[in-house]
Amino acid sequence: MTPLARLRLRLTLLYAGVFILILGLLGGGLFLTVRHQMSSQLDVSLKAATAALERAARIREAERANARGAVVDAVDELHVPGRTLYLFDEAGQPIKPGVAPDWIRDAAREAVRAGHADREVETPEDRTLRLHAERFTGTGGAVYVAAVMADRVELEDQYASLIATFAAAALAALLLVAGGGYLLVRKSAAPVERSMEQMRRFMADAAHELRTPITLLRTRTEVALGQDREAARDAATLRAIEQETARLGEIVGDLLTLARADAGERSVAQAAVYLDDVAADAVEAVRTLAEQKRVAVAVGRFEEARVTGDPALVRQLLVIVLDNAVKFTPAGGRVTLDVAAEDGRATVVVADTGIGIPPEQLPRVFERFYRGDPARREAGGAGLGLAIARWIADVHGARIELASPPGGGTRVTIIFPLMA
């Protein structure tokens, strides 16, 4: 299993574990709350049944006092589903029904003394019985005790039903969370995977680019050390070493720039920048290379355009684009630069008559170390310039557009927001 696969699995298990913990705490609190409410409802139900028994007992007493013949016993006629009713006299002796368990009679005697009594008893059959008894006075002044008993098994049945329902819902939720968590982790880890793949490719490309000049430097040094000293030959060797060292320094400098950009360590100034002035300076910076390659560099439209940014970085951006245009334009070719300001935008356009870029390569030219076909690789460079250019454009809120018509040449358009 790859490290990223293990990471995805661990994160998914972590999500599921946290969800189970939350679900357990929530379920425990819910069960305690429901249990308390059900118990309270049972108590209310017992008190209501006791009150109904008291009313029936008073009716029974009144009817017996006024009736001349047989009357219907109101207590016998009273039925409360799921409840057992007892009526006691002031001595704690059962009236209705005629027989009562000893623990209920004890509760009745306690109610005579205290006014009420509550008992909960475990039976040998593992049943829990709940009793509520209250003392009351009949219409004729006699003292009675009304006692109502309920079996808590109805509560246990409700608990079992609730637990089963909650467990089923929790299991379904857990499966959904696990599946959704895995998909979420996979989606969240995708940028990390891409970054790691880019980092591996970047390190491999960097090692490849650095290996060539280092190998040349070592080879030339070893050859020079093995030869007799000769001023002209040593001078040529040192010039070659200087060139390779300069190339190596450029690669390391570009790598350092990109590393600082990725880490956010490169501060970006926010000052007024006149693109026309910076563009003129960038043209002068590449003019020597253009003369060596016999490429004409011309300035066309040149309007004043003021933007906000870092003057050094904006200059570096334009130099990179112009340097690429000159580098990939054969002798006798032409590079033009235009600066315009309109519609709240400042636009710099660099067009050349060079070898152009194949359409399938246009989306990749800003990748680090990407140099496309062999013709572009032979022109030199490590393939880091346009990656730096894209970063500079991004931190300035600008965008770079590339176009390469079928007839050859490349047109690079850099669009900045004008300074308010």
pLDDT of residue 86 exceeding 60: yes
Largest CA distance in the chain: 151
Using one digit for the tens of pLDDT, what is the confidence trace for 162-175? 777 777 887 887 78
Assign domain 271-417 one CATH number from 3.30.565.10, 2.30.30.60, 3.40.640.10, 3.40.190.10. Answer: 3.30.565.10
Structural domain spans, the chain: 188-263, 271-417
pLDDT at residue 377, as a whole number = 47
Amino acid found at 392 = I
Amino acid found at 420 = A
- Residue 412: other Cβ atoms inside 10 A: 24
pLDDT band at 68; cut points 50, 70, 90: low
Scanning the structure block, which residue is given the tokens 């007992």?
A: 57
The Cα-based distances of 287 to 107, 272, 275, 385 in angstroms read 111, 26, 18, 18
What's the CA gap between 200 and 208, in Å, rounded? 12
**High-pLDDT (> 70) share of the chain, %:** 85
Alpha carbon 343 to chain centroid, angstroms: 39
pLDDT at residue 169, as a whole number = 80
pLDDT at residue 226, as a whole number = 81
CB 369 within 8 A of CB 206: yes
- Average pLDDT over every residue of 325-333: 89
Written as one string, the DSSP assignment of 304-331 is --EEEE-HHHHHHHHHHHHHHHHHTS-T
**High-pLDDT (> 90) share of the chain, %:** 10
CB 315 within 8 A of CB 246: no
Helix (H, G, I), strand (E, B) or coil at 367: coil
pLDDT band at 415; cut points 50, 70, 90: very high
Instruction: Name which of 83-97, 243-257, 272-286, 362-376 the model is least confident about.
Output: 362-376
> Which conformational region is residue 369 in: left (phi greater than 0), alpha (psi within -120 to 50 degrees), or beta?
left
Using one digit for the tens of pLDDT, what is the confidence trace for 217-243? 788 788 888 888 888 877 888 887 887
What's the CA gap between 400 and 137, in Å, rounded? 97
Q: Please give the residue that has the higher pLDDT: either 390 or 369.
A: 390
pLDDT of residue 44 exceeding 80: yes
Q: Please give the residue that has the higher pLDDT: either 390 or 374.
A: 390
Mean pLDDT of the chain: 80
CB 351 within 8 A of CB 410: yes
CATH of domain 188-263: 1.10.287.130
pLDDT at residue 1, as a whole number = 63
- Average pLDDT over every residue of 290-298: 90
pLDDT of residue 378 exceeding 60: no
Instruction: Tokens for 54, please give them.
Output: 């008291």
CB 182 within 8 A of CB 74: no
> Which conformational region is residue 316 in: left (phi greater than 0), alpha (psi within -120 to 50 degrees), or beta?
alpha
- Residue 3: other Cβ atoms inside 10 A: 8
Using one digit for the tens of pLDDT, what is the confidence trace for 251-263? 677 677 777 766 6
pLDDT at residue 373, as a whole number = 54
- Average pLDDT over every residue of 202-206: 66
> Which conformational region is residue 130 in: left (phi greater than 0), alpha (psi within -120 to 50 degrees), or beta?
beta
Instruction: Tokens for 252, please give them.
Output: 């390391």
Which helix (H) or strand (E) element contains residue 299? strand 296-302
Instruction: Tokens for 172, please give them.
Output: 């379904």
Scanning the structure block, which residue is given the tokens 């290996």?
A: 211
